[in-house]
Structure 1
Amino acid sequence: MIRLLVTDVDGTLLDNKSELPDFNKKALIECLDRKIEIILATGKSFASIFWLVELLGLKMPQITLNGSVIVAKDSQIISFVRINPEYYHEIIADIRHGGCSPLVALADGRILYDKEHPTFEAFRKINEKLLKVEDIDDEKYCRSCVDISVTIKESDPLDTYLRSKYEGKLQLVRSGEYFFDILDLDATKGNALKQIAEKFGFKKEEIAVLGDSYNDLSMFDQSGLRIAVKNSYEKVLQAADFVTDENYNCGLGKAIYKYILKD
């Protein structure tokens, strides 16, 4: 019996306009009515999903910034995993050398940049607020950084370079077509889910996970029911127990009724 439902946000829960379809909302509310708890697990900050937490009346801690920060419903930080400071300035320099501008996410959820880049529009389209600062090389940002991201496609040479240099040293995660994130090795959605599950007494077989991207695979490892939306990456589709419809066709809602509520 499923007691906890964990879902990715963009590309899974929301449609391609970053809106919550009424059918998905209805399915989630029915889960809550049946005492099935819900956790949103996102690569974004808590501020960008707060409207969903309020709309659905969620009570559980939420997984943000690719698992590096767990946040309570009242916006209080429960725990965070920061990037090893010894890598911080080197990563920033590598991204700049690759012709891009880095985005730095802090434990408090702020996402910073010091030089505008056209690709930032991809972040703004998913309701992520970016804050301009004078210099992200400042040590005060280094000390509380949990995620460094760059907006590049998988085919970009910078993707290959960063992977070859930092593989095994840092967590390298692609959470969408344009989103490449660098985090501490311990910062994963799966580790965050495991921490919450242990605290609240959820067994692996009582957890269902819905996702679409590489950063959701670590959560599949912590769940008894793994569901991918049809628009997922091939590796995610292969790892899933079931594949539901696309995110823009209310795949999440359909999966909830078919595999969880079984109506």
Structure 2
Amino acid sequence: MSDLAKQPIRFLLSDMDGTLLLPDHTLNQHTIDAVRSLREAGVLFSLASGRPPKAMLQQIEALGVDLPTAAFNGGTIVKPDGTLLAAHYLPATTALIALAQFADQSDVEVWVFSGGDWLLKDPHGPMVPREQSGLGYPPVVVESFEPYLQRIDKIVATSNNTELLIELEAQLLPKVNGMAQVSRSQPVYLDVTALEANKGTALTTIAEYLGVPLEQTAVIGDGGNDPAMFKCAGLSIAMGQAEEAVKRQADVVTAPNTEDGVAQAIKKYILPH
């Protein structure tokens, strides 16, 4: 924070769910206006999310984002014209380890994202309606994930039993150490992605593409997948409702997403500098 005046922020990379978006996955006008004020001040703005690319399109349009955006926690970075700036897939052997870890958990639903599709075996799982509402499109039901092993963008274990997901995260991490990223993007979602598919790498890649030094970047987020970009940015901002472990890794903490936390952070920490 003490260096903000010396290093004005030229680029802000923001998480979406739990940060820009309200709990019902909508944007409010205060957030839209705050992002517009950034653009008017000449500050670049883009999005980094655990979502698939096509589940970000509505927000990209609403916010007028015309820069590369990071989907799948940075696994896929898409230019405004739809071409790829970068793509990182989960190695097949690593995917099998993760799928085996989740296979016998009766309280856990397992989803695979591949080639833009949301794949699952049970379309009647209790977490499916929530995900479909957030993504804006339905899943594809498959008998096996094996045909998709060569191009998996993300595996998700999801459950309302958040303590179980914490346990599964701790169990899986040593098994895929050095081979994959494992993090809870939200309390009910445990994401497994390629090692290079993290928001820190995404920030570095996009900033380099834009010609902006990392010291002049800011990031904002609320989930366990956001500290990866906190560590790289010149300024890191955590949302007020984030878990304490996430907030401790940020430079500053703003209000929750239900209280216009992003708009407050932009006004307080970025525009004055």
Q: Same fold (TM over 0.5)?
A: yes
Give me the whole-angstrom Cα distance separating, in 1, the residues matched to 2:214 and 2:60.
24
Alpha-carbon offset, residue 71 of structure 1? 1.1
Summarize deviations over 1:14-62 as a string: whole Å, max 9, x none: 1122111111110100111122111111111121111111122211100
The letter for the 1-side match of 2:183 is V
Q: Is the 8 A contact 2:94 2:179 kept in 1?
A: no
CA apart distance, 1:79: 1.6
SS of equivalent to 1:172: strand
Larger CA deviation: 115-124 vs 142-151: 115-124
Match of 1:126 among 134, 138, 143: 134
CA distance in 1, matches of 2:135, 2:221: 19
The amino acid that maps onto 2:266 is I
Deviations 1:161-210 (A, max 9, x none): 33353344421110101110111222101111111111221111210111
- Pick the aligned partner of 2:84 from 64, 70, 77: 77
Aligned residue in 2 for 1:15: 22
Partner of 1:245: 255
Report % sequence identity. Answer: 30
Q: Is the 8 A contact 2:217 2:233 kept in 1?
A: yes
TM-score w.r.t. length of structure 2? 0.89
Q: Does 1:226 align with 2:236?
A: yes
Question: Which residue does 1:6 correspond to in 2?
Answer: 13
Structure 2 partner of 1:181? 191
Asked whether 1:29 is paired with 2:36, we answer: yes
Deviation (angstroms), 1:101: 3.5
Residue 260 of structure 1 aligns with which residue? 270
Equivalent residue, structure 1, for 2:59: 52
- Distance, in Å, in 2 between the alignment partners of 1:181 and 1:5 is 24
The one-letter amino acid paired with 2:20 is L
- Distance in 1 (CA, whole Å) between partners of 2:22 and 2:200 is 23
Give the counterpart letter for 1:109 in structure 2.
G
8 Å CA contact 1:6, 1:40 repeated in 2:
yes
1:105–1:146: 8 Å Cα contact kept in structure 2? yes
CA deviations on 1:133-180 (whole Å, 9 max, x unpaired) are 3333332x1111021111034411544433353344421110101110
1:98-157 residue CA offsets vs partner (Å, 9 max, x unmatched):
223321112x32221122222223322423534223333332x11110211110344115
Corresponding residue number in structure 2 for 1:112: 119
**Aligned equivalents of 1:183 and 1:42: distance in 2?**
12
Say which of 168, 178, 192 aligns to 2:202. 192
Query: What TM-score does the superposition give when structure 1 sets the normalisation length?
Result: 0.92
Distance (Å, rounded) in 2 between the aligned partners of 1:154 and 1:185: 24
- Kept in 2, the 8 Å contact 1:104–1:136? The answer is no
**C-alpha separation in 2, matches of 1:243 and 1:38:** 19
CA change 1:223–1:182 in 2 (3 A) is same
CA change 1:145–1:244 in 2 (3 A) is same
C-alpha distance in 1 between matches for 2:214 and 2:100 = 41
- Tell me if the contact between 1:112 and 1:130 (Cα under 8 Å) persists in the aligned partners: no
Secondary structure, in 3 states, of the residue corresponding to 1:118? coil
* Cα distance in 2, alignment partners of residues 165 and 236 from structure 1: 23
5 Å-filtered alignment, 1:148-159, equals 148-152=155-159, 153-156=161-164, 157-159=167-169
Kindly state the Cα deviation for residue 262 of structure 1 after the two structures are TM-superposed: 2.0
User: For residue 61 of structure 1, what is the aligned residue in structure 2?
Assistant: 68
